[in-house]
Structure 1
Amino acid sequence: MDASARRERDDLFFEVIDDALNSLPDNLRAAISNVEILVEDEPPDGQRLLGLYQGVPLPRRTSAYSGALPDKISIYGGPITRLAAGDGDRLRREVRHVVLHEIAHHFGISDERLIELDRY
């Protein structure tokens, strides 16, 4: 992917990321604390991921957390773009789903619990 196409894709991703964050209730948006969201091309070698939360979930933060570097949410553009297979609507749905999934981890919600919630 050339630099221009990557910039265009990243712009679209950030637009969808903003839409996903803005779709959250005000109290949840206000509770998101010390998090950086990045769009990266690919996950770390050998990992099949669409996104990744790295940090200390809110429920586990103590007073010792003060002054910590921001938590990091990585959204991996390559795998999501391949999954969408040229379908713009699916791309937007997948980015939104991954962003909300990783934000849920920030709030301390496990993958297992997210799977349970998705069944309802």
Structure 2
Amino acid sequence: MNARQTPWGHAPKADAIEAMARAALARLPKAFRTHLDNVVLRVEEYADDATLDEMGIDDPFALSGLYSGRPLGMKSVDDTATMPDMIHLYRRAILDEWAEGEVTLETLVAHVLIHEVGHHFGLSDADMHALEAAAE
């Protein structure tokens, strides 16, 4: 093994995180999946400075996911020319949390994703936990 190699390999790239997230989406109950077709899933390295500032967060590692859009229950026919609803997963923050060794990366990605899906539906934290249990 040369000096640049590590015994544990490379950190998963954005496309691997996205594949894990899409697999978690596919495990959601159909009643939820049918309302997620128009939600854009983006995997980015970190939240941008404007997002962090808006949320009052100083450390980009403190934000692993974000839903941007209007929850379904708040949408109106008067909503015109709006940006698509998006779920952002922040790869470096997720990997940093994963490095703590509490859960598998797939479990963590699913947890973050389902939390953001919950915001899309306007769910409470208890409802999000139930949804996560249903997707296991």
Q: Tell me the SS of whatever aligns to 2:41.
A: strand
1:118 positional shift: 3.8
Task: Pick the structure with greater CA Rg.
Answer: 2
The code of the aligned residue for 1:94 comes to L
Q: Which runs of 5+ in 2 are unaligned?
A: 1-9, 50-57
* Distance in 1 separating the partners of 2:18 and 2:100: 18
Aligned residues with identical type, % of pairs: 31
Q: Which runs of 5+ in 1 are unaligned?
A: none
Aligned residues: 111
Match of 1:50 in 2: 64
1:115 positional shift: 5.1
* Distance in 2 separating the partners of 1:65 and 1:73: 19
The code of the aligned residue for 2:92 comes to G
Q: Which structure is higher in helix share?
A: 1
Write the mapping of 1:1-120 to structure 2, written as runs, cut at 5 A: 8-45=12-49, 46-47=58-59, 48-85=62-99, 90-109=104-123, 113-114=124-125, 118=129
- What is the alpha-carbon root mean square deviation over aligned residues? 2.6
